[in-house]
């Protein structure tokens, strides 16, 4: 069916709502080579998924993701479920020749992620299917601009990366246990949920892999109220902290936590290079801080670039300069880039291999934390 | 046709794109009592309006707004044209019993605005038609929160308002003449385009009318290149500055300009009261600065409230705390509030009467600027 | 007495303490051509002035400023009294051939200021005496740097100045009456105390005179508790607001107030030019904001220049880069510049003529405010 | 000689100038129980030390610190030399019954620091001599306020500390070798120079000791130009990064570097507690960020407390609210606190024992960095 890209989505909660908005919106603002169709959405409860479909604009519903994957009228499977089901769904979808967009983290374990990356490579060779992992923050215009500046050499050799993803929704010890606090569903806590973004951004921005880490993990509140009654253990980390080295010799310091009082969604990253430096904070996502050592020290200083100029990535499709974008635009940009890659027969980024790379770093963090923080190489 | 609100929009450029997005998006995130339908869009060029309709999601097109207004299958006319046509379209639409949403400024002259406000009152009595003017910035969550705090008395008696709407797209003297720089189309320059927003926000936030002004207007670059060749006079103001007094005794200082180098869309407003103070800047639209004198001076300070908490206006419909919104959300919130008012048989805000109030202030500014800045009362 | 500059100071309170610190400290950090000696300080109460002399490091005391002015062992009279006594003391000192440093505002009236400026010119011709007025904020390194950038043409033609001097110490209506709230002592309220600084900085930074104004003055709380019992009228302005034009065509907006809740000492000034823009706030006095239009709009933005580099005015004499300065350094820099000018037989700045220029602007503001804000030229 | 405190200072360069200013200035702004006298300063070059004495206000000079320590007319030895001489001078001074103020870091090795702490205890018992180490940043008003808030329980249980001391003066690989880059003089590089401050502040603010660390050290540029010709190895660290745990269970992340492009003197520290959070940056040293969870989330946010109110530590002695302080005030406050402690026969803080505690942390960092970043306990 030339000219369209028929999408089936699994999961319709927070992430699903964001993805659906992006599938609807991208063709309204970007000239896409394929027109996305919101063909079907899948969820376990028939009533709830029907309500979600109506609200989000899906034409049809399924209650079994296997049925969704088998449908002939679907070209792409968009996986918005918790991490424990990513591998199974993605493998099936790729085997069925579907393109796949999978939410981050790619999987809960390295073994799963390896299987997914291998499957992606096979599906590409066999069917031309494309697979991408949803590190949407790469598509913040200010972040894309930051990557461009590094790639152009404006920072020179990178010396330091400090990255934190800070939230505070667990700071109250009476906040209840949810699936996000159970290892069997979420894999890990702050590490996979927040740390994964920080690791991906750090590798994306520098263009360098993290080669080793030394880490600590912490669960400050070991058990919490169970909404079903009583208390239940928290089996994931509340916070993660680690030092790291990058392929080019830079030193990294990372932190991910749900206990950073007053920080709501502060994914902050600073990159210091021999020729310049960058600062970004997701809570002010339209702004990029840039220090240029080429400037005379008399007038040098961190400048606040409002990344809404027509020259800035994605910005020309939206509003005049100074009219700011929000969180959900990152998903719309992700759809744009993915659809363009699929139409061009090119590999979308980040690939499953890149998602696996992040997973290996997270795994090394967990290993180091279990073994007295000893330096742990990230294997490829 | 119970349960729907059929919309016809006039104009499809920058403002039209923003409105169309809002009509499409509001029902996806808010439980609206009426479902908006994008019935038809109107523009002079048949080819262009068809392209816009496809891109923006309108079911049908018209090339004559009078045809649009006459259509039986339309409940609301959304006016997104330059100011010189607002009055004619709005009057016709109201006479036809349609609801009207009219972009700001309400009109180019007080006389037009008076006619529109009168027509709105008549149409409401005659047909139950509702009319609102599109001061969308009232619907920034941080701004709505600011209004709540003032209304709750958290600022006490208001002493000062300083409001600036700063842009810089005319700072280059070689920027060309467009309709926005011609009085016969735009009515005024920075005053009506930018100053109108500042005046509306100031009156909205304080809950007090501006009662008098003393003003200067300036055209720094009196003629500019005409894209059609040669040069052409600029017949509107490049910048406006005025002092003002509010009904409750507060002192106001206003500025609107397209020559504020480095400011892209900086609608900044500070409100100082006996008990507290507020600061807002549209370039950081998710943030509200709040100083609370009730706090001990030992720990008092302007706090940066990130207006993305579930308790904040509109925010619960979107994403978790800390996930920021953008410019276009203001239009989506405008649609939500307008649809709810229409469904409830209530008056949406800001009304045409409020739009007229802004127009009277702008008129007093123009009068004062023409008469040696002499203090000029705003008449009701 | 070769090599020294013997100083006699009148007044030893807040301003006196700041000046004394500067006289003591300047020779410790700068290589001065003349060594200041703190010869004598004058105050009405013998006991209090003796205590102040001991605390501040003065060798001797006087209780009558006329005695101080007559002393042969004094080369410079430093006037730190309220504005109503500036003229009388300065005229006597100049007549006696002393150099004079006079706190701002130069005087309480234009007539006094004219007499002082004339006397300064005569004393210079007759005795080589030098006179300067204490607009110390010109000596903030960030402000001096700002002036350099404007003078070098980095801003191009100036279009806008917005300047506010915001404090909040009168926001409580129960704050008592002091001499600062009585016209007979202070001349005016916020206008002369705060507005004078804003006007001087605006003219200094732009290098352009203010040629006309349109103004409002306001006394929000017309009477206040008298520490001596009962209530007493406030006879000066609580706040001043005015628009202005500069010699080069720029538009100015000014505000001075003691009712800006939460602002403690916020002298804020923005200068927008065709090629760049500057931002300064005295509450963050080590920082200068600078926007350079020569930069590509892709990487342009307001940069925060920390004015502590060796290249920055005054900074090399102090600490390594990044080690910030404070309020009192402005007085130390003032002493440095004054001593250097005196030793070189050059005119220190700002001169009494410049102080008179500020006074004329303040006078035009008062006139305009009394006459329905009508545009009022500043006469020379 | 009742009523005075006669000071002899060793070293007169950057730190000496700051200390001398403080000895001169403290009695001018604070009512001290003992009046400091700048009795003598010591340096190796007779000519240079005489010039420094004249500039800084010392009455006499010495060229051998042993002579200085032996002088009967000196009560306190102020040690402002590089770290390799701290132990020897301090031990001699304490043995001679002098009070001692020693610049940080206390020593270059734990062994030296242990000897110094022991000597301080003995001298106190034997002579009533008092010893303090110069972690001057504890005396920034905003930092003192931060400590008060933690001590009052406003933050509740501490969960996170992130502390960085960022400078950039080595980012240029052609910057020359100085004594600060040679292990035999400086002991370590960024770790002892910058990291020491960060560690002391973190322990001071939380009131909790660091109990273990996992660290990496890095020398990015292993050899640099020698001003004497040729190149010379850099034998200290350019940067240090480590994770840490505090006594109360909090997780710490630390970084010290001279390669943070664009950061001039950015000692930044964030402390997150169950009930609130604090933020501080030495480049904006008058400001404390404070988030109070007791505030409703509707109006909560990081507030910028300008620590210049009379209620704030040290502030009442200086200027009215909003008039900011600078770097050198920290030394003046240090003198005030030290003189008051000596006069009261009380122990000044931070004691040599606290200085030793910092040294033990730095040592654990070095050990961990040498042993594959393995977790290393800080022994007491």
Q: How many domains does chain A have?
A: 2
* Predicted local distance difference test score (pLDDT) of residue B380: 81
Q: What is the CATH number of the domain that holds D48?
A: 3.40.50.720
Rounded Cα distance between B209 and D143, Å, is 44
pLDDT, one tens digit per residue, over D257-281 is 999 999 999 999 999 999 999 999 9
Residue A237 pLDDT exceeds 60: yes
What is the DSSP pairing of strand A60-62 with strand C302-306? unpaired
Partners of D308 on chain C (C-beta within 8 Å) are: 264-265
Confidence band of D336 (pLDDT split at 50, 70, 90): very high
* Predicted local distance difference test score (pLDDT) of residue A380: 81
B neighbour chains, 3+ CB pairs within 8 Å: A, C, D
Residue D72 pLDDT exceeds 90: yes
Tally DSSP H helices, then E strands, for chain B.
11, 17
pLDDT, one tens digit per residue, over B271-323 is 999 999 999 999 999 999 999 999 999 999 999 999 999 999 999 999 999 99
Rounded Cα distance between D354 and D360, Å, is 10
Nearest residue of D to residue C167, measured between CA atoms: D322
Q: What is the ipTM of this complex?
A: 0.96
Whole-number Cα distances in Å, C19 to B210, C22, C328, C336, D82: 44, 5, 8, 12, 35
Q: Are residues B281 and B150 in the same domain?
A: yes
Nearest residue of C to residue A296, measured between CA atoms: C311
- For residue A319, which phi and psi values (nearest 5 degrees)? -115, 175
Rounded Cα distance between D217 and D237, Å, is 6
Q: What is the CATH number of the domain that holds D204?
A: 3.30.360.10
Whole-number Cα distances in Å, A245 to A242, A282, A303, D9: 10, 24, 27, 43
In a domain, C303, yes or no: yes
In a domain, C105, yes or no: yes
* Predicted local distance difference test score (pLDDT) of residue C380: 81
Rounded Cα distance between B259 and B164, Å, is 12
Partners of B304 on chain D (C-beta within 8 Å) are: 301-304
Q: Give the end of a domain, one of C78, C106, C136.
A: C136
* Predicted local distance difference test score (pLDDT) of residue B1: 38
Q: Average per-residue pLDDT in chain D?
A: 97
Q: Give the end of a domain, one of B89, B107, B136.
A: B136
Rounded Cα distance between D135 and B143, Å, is 44
In a domain, D376, yes or no: no
Whole-number Cα distances in Å, D8 to D20, D77, D81: 10, 5, 13
Among candidate residues A217, A223, A222, A261, the one with its CA nearest the CA of residue A239 = A217
- For residue B279, which phi and psi values (nearest 5 degrees)? -140, 135
In a domain, A68, yes or no: yes
B261 contacts C291? CB cut-off 8 A: yes
Nearest residue of C to residue B279, measured between CA atoms: C262
C272 contacts B218? CB cut-off 8 A: no
Confidence band of D321 (pLDDT split at 50, 70, 90): very high
Residue D273's contacts (CB-CB under 8 Å, 6 or more residues apart) are: A261, D150, D154, D155, D156, D157, D158, D159
Q: Are residues C105 and C131 in the same domain?
A: yes
* Predicted local distance difference test score (pLDDT) of residue B197: 97
Residue A2 pLDDT exceeds 90: no
C322 contacts D283? CB cut-off 8 A: yes
Rounded Cα distance between A199 and A267, Å, is 11
D326 contacts C326? CB cut-off 8 A: yes
Rounded Cα distance between A283 and B286, Å, is 9
Q: Are residues B177 and B294 in the same domain?
A: yes
D325 contacts C323? CB cut-off 8 A: no
In a domain, B376, yes or no: no
Report the gap between the CA of A30 and the closest CA in chain C (Å). 21
Instruction: Report yes or no: B12 and B47 within 8 Å, Cβ to Cβ.
Output: no
Q: Is the peptide bond before B329 cis (omega within 30 degrees of 0)?
A: no
Q: How many CB pairs under 8 A join B and D?
A: 52
Q: Are residues B226 and B293 in the same domain?
A: yes
Q: Are residues C71 and C161 in the same domain?
A: no
- Classify the phi-psi angles of D342: left when phi > 0, otherwise alpha if psi is within -120 to 50, otherwise beta: alpha
Q: Are residues C171 and C196 in the same domain?
A: yes
**DSSP-assigned states of every residue in A62-96:** ES-HHHHHH-TT-SEEEE-S-GGGHHHHHHHHHHT
Q: Are residues A236 and A274 in the same domain?
A: yes
Q: How many CB pairs under 8 A join A and B?
A: 95
Rounded Cα distance between A255 and A242, Å, is 7
What is residue A269's three-state secondary structure?
strand
Q: Within 13 Å and on the Cβ side, how many CA atoms surround C363?
A: 19
In a domain, B349, yes or no: no
User: DSSP code of B285?
Assistant: T
Rounded Cα distance between B106 and B83, Å, is 7
Q: Are residues B163 and B122 in the same domain?
A: no
Instruction: Report yes or no: C183 and C84 within 8 Å, Cβ to Cβ.
Output: no
What would the mean pLDDT of B45-61 be, rounded to a whole number?
Answer: 97
Find the domain containing B32 and state its range.
4-136
Among candidate residues D83, D92, D93, D103, the one with its CA nearest the CA of residue D22 = D103
- For residue A114, which phi and psi values (nearest 5 degrees)? -65, -45
Burial D347-359 (b: 16+ CB within 10 A, else e): ebebbbbbbbbbb
Instruction: Report yes or no: C167 and D306 within 8 Å, Cβ to Cβ.
Output: no
pLDDT, one tens digit per residue, over B165-178 is 999 999 999 999 99
What would the mean pLDDT of D159-165 be, rounded to a whole number?
Answer: 98
A neighbour chains, 3+ CB pairs within 8 Å: B, C, D
- Chain C interface residues (partner D, CB cutoff 8 A): 14, 18, 20-21, 24-25, 28, 55-57, 167, 169, 263-266, 282-286, 306, 308-309, 318-329
In a domain, C349, yes or no: no
Q: Give the end of a domain, one of C86, C109, C136.
A: C136
pLDDT, one tens digit per residue, over B86-117 is 999 999 999 999 999 999 999 999 999 999 99
pLDDT, one tens digit per residue, over D101-151 is 999 999 999 999 999 999 999 999 999 999 999 999 999 999 999 999 999
C21 contacts D28? CB cut-off 8 A: yes
Instruction: Report yes or no: C26 and C32 within 8 Å, Cβ to Cβ.
Output: yes
What would the mean pLDDT of D179-187 be, rounded to a whole number?
Answer: 91
Q: Are residues D327 and D267 in the same domain?
A: yes
Cβ neighbours, 10 Å, residue B85? 16
Q: Which two tokens stand for residue C295?
A: 């930069």
Residues of chain C with pLDDT under 50: 1
* Predicted local distance difference test score (pLDDT) of residue D380: 81
Q: Within 13 Å and on the Cβ side, how many CA atoms surround A311?
A: 10
Q: Are residues B110 and B185 in the same domain?
A: no
Give me the residue label for tokens 């009967």: D72
pLDDT, one tens digit per residue, over A198-230 is 999 999 999 999 999 999 999 999 999 999 999
Give me the residue label for tokens 């410019």: B327
Over the Cα atoms of chain A, what is R_g? 21
Share of residues in chain D with pLDDT > 70 (%): 99
Q: Which two tokens stand for residue C120?
A: 């300064």
Partners of B169 on chain A (C-beta within 8 Å) are: 320-321
In a domain, D223, yes or no: yes
Share of residues in chain D with pLDDT > 90 (%): 98
Residue A34's contacts (CB-CB under 8 Å, 6 or more residues apart) are: A3, A4, A5, A339, A342, A343
Rounded Cα distance between B359 and D87, Å, is 77
Q: Are residues D273 and D131 in the same domain?
A: no
- Chain D interface residues (partner A, CB cutoff 8 A): 155, 159-160, 162, 164, 168, 171-173, 214-216, 218, 220, 239, 241-243, 245, 249, 251-253, 255, 257, 259-263, 272-277, 291, 293, 300-302, 372-375
Q: Are residues B61 and B89 in the same domain?
A: yes
Stated as kind and residue range, the H or E segment containing B35 is strand B35-42
What is the DSSP pairing of strand D251-257 with strand D158-166? parallel
Residue C281's contacts (CB-CB under 8 Å, 6 or more residues apart) are: C266, C267, C268, C287
């Amino acid at each position: 069916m030339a000219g369209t890209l028929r999408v089936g989505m699994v999961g319709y909660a927070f992430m699903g709502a964001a993805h659906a908005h992006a599938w609807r919106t991208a063709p309204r603002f970007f000239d896409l080579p394929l027109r996305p169709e919101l063909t079907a959405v899948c969820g376990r409860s028939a009533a709830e998924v029907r309500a979600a479909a109506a609200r989000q604009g899906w034409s049809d519903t399924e209650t079994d993701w296997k049925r969704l994957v088998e449908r002939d009228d679907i070209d792409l499977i968009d996986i918005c479920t918790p991490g424990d089901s990513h591998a199974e769904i993605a493998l099936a979808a790729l085997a069925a020749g579907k393109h796949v967009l999978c939410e981050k983290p790619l999987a809960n374990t390295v073994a799963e992620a390896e299987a997914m990356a291998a499957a992606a490579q096979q599906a590409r060779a066999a069917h031309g299917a494309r697979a991408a992992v949803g590190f949407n923050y790469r598509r913040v215009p200010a972040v894309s601009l930051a990557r461009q500046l590094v790639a152009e050499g404006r920072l020179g050799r990178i010396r330091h990366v400090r990255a934190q993803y800070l939230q505070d929704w667990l700071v109250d010890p009476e906040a209840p246990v949810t699936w996000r606090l159970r290892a069997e569903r979420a894999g890990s806590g702050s590490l996979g949920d927040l740390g994964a973004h920080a690791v991906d951004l750090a590798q994306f921005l520098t263009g360098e892999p993290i080669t080793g880490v030394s880490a600590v993990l912490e669960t400050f509140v070991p058990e919490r109220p169970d909404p079903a009654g009583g208390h239940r253990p928290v089996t994931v980390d509340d916070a993660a902290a680690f030092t790291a080295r990058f392929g080019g010799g830079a030193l990294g310091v990372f932190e991910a936590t749900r206990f950073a009082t007053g920080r709501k969604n502060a994914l902050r990253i600073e990159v210091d290079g021999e020729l310049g430096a960058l600062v970004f904070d997701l809570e002010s996502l339209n702004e990029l801080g840039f220090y240029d050592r080429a400037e005379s020290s008399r007038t040098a200083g961190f400048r606040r670039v409002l990344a809404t100029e027509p020259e800035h990535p994605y910005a020309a499709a939206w509003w005049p300069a100074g009219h700011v974008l929000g969180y959900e635009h990152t998903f719309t940009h992700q759809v744009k880039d993915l659809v363009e890659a699929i139409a061009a027969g090119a590999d979308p980024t980040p690939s499953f291999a890149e998602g696996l790379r992040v997973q290996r770093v997270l795994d090394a963090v967990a290993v180091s934390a279990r073994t007295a923080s000893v330096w742990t190489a990230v294997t490829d």
